């Protein structure tokens, strides 16, 4: 018997009943959780000898969060308009700014964060790879928080599933009572918790420059590629060449780029603190 999506109320706290024009959504809370986890984990990362000896502080983590938020919002929105609906937004350019209507791309957000970290590195006169190696293990918990928000909202549901699958779930938001894979949960476990565990373990020891960044690219790319087999493709795109979704095609450059970066990093020295 398939499970039924709980149909959560997307509003966690409604103060309008008390005359205060404020509604706090669960999705907004998951973003706050993501930011808080980034600050907590980043503060722990900068205490590692190889980061502390290089002059990294908690204040740097706070500044990185600000740069990252700007990058992910701008990049996520621009990426969505370019990767998923370029012709529509070409005909309706002002709707690019209508972010309240939804439409964000993780891969675009990643490019936005990369650009933001590049600017941060220039301003602070640091190596770009030192910046990304610091933050990479702190990112997956934020991705996990976002998937919790997707599940609460009943969005980004999965493809049709065998009704006998114990965790097959019906999402009325999909417009049908067809049992589906709870792909948000799959992504929470793969791209979120599993990737976090692997990166936190890998980054807990001194690594050559760009190694941790490369591990993030390969790890996220692989896990997202797998999860996309269970996630319903965007209705306006469907499956593309080789029966792969847009998300899978966008993961391939991540995996290839991460592998090449990993090979390049093998020629980089270990941090000075590692030798001590």
Known binding residues are: 147
Q: What ranges make up the beta strands (E) of the chain?
A: 3-4, 11-14, 23-25, 169-170, 179-180
Helix or strand or coil: residue 11? Answer: strand
Rounded CA gap, 12 and 189, in Å? 24
Our CA dihedral for 201, 67, 259, 159, rounded to 10 degrees, sits at 90
- In DSSP terms, 23 is beta-bridged to 14
DSSP string, 131-149: HHHHHGGGSHHHHHHHHHH
Rounded CA gap, 29 and 213, in Å? 28
């Amino acid at each position: 018997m398939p499970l039924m999506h709980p149909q959560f109320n997307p509003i966690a706290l409604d103060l309008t009943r008390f005359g205060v024009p404020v509604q706090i959504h669960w999705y907004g809370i998951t973003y706050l959780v993501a930011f808080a986890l980034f600050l907590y984990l980043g503060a722990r990362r900068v205490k590692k000898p190889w980061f502390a000896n290089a002059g990294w502080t908690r204040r740097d983590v706070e500044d990185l969060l600000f740069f990252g938020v700007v990058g992910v919002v701008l990049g996520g929105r621009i990426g969505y308009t370019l990767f998923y609906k370029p012709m529509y937004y070409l005909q309706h350019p002002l709707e690019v700014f209508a972010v309240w209507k939804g439409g964000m791309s993780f891969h675009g957000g990643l490019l936005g964060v990369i650009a933001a970290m590049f600017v941060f590195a220039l301003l602070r006169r640091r190596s770009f790879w030192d910046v990304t190696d610091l933050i990479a293990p702190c990112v997956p918990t934020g991705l996990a928080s976002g998937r919790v928000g997707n599940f609460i909202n009943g969005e980004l549901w999965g493809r049709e599933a065998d009704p006998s699958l114990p965790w097959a779930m019906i999402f009325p938001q999909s417009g049908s009572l067809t049992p589906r894979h709870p792909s948000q949960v799959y992504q929470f476990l793969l791209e979120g918790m599993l990737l976090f565990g692997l990166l936190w373990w890998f980054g807990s020891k001194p690594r050559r420059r760009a190694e941790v960044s490369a591990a993030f690219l390969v790890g996220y790319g692989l896990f997202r590629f797998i999860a996309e087999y269970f996630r319903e493709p965007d209705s306006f795109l469907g499956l593309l060449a080789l029966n792969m979704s847009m998300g899978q095609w966008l993961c391939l450059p991540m995996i290839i780029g991460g592998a090449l970066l990993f090979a390049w990093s093998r020629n980089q020295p270990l941090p000075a603190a590692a030798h001590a």
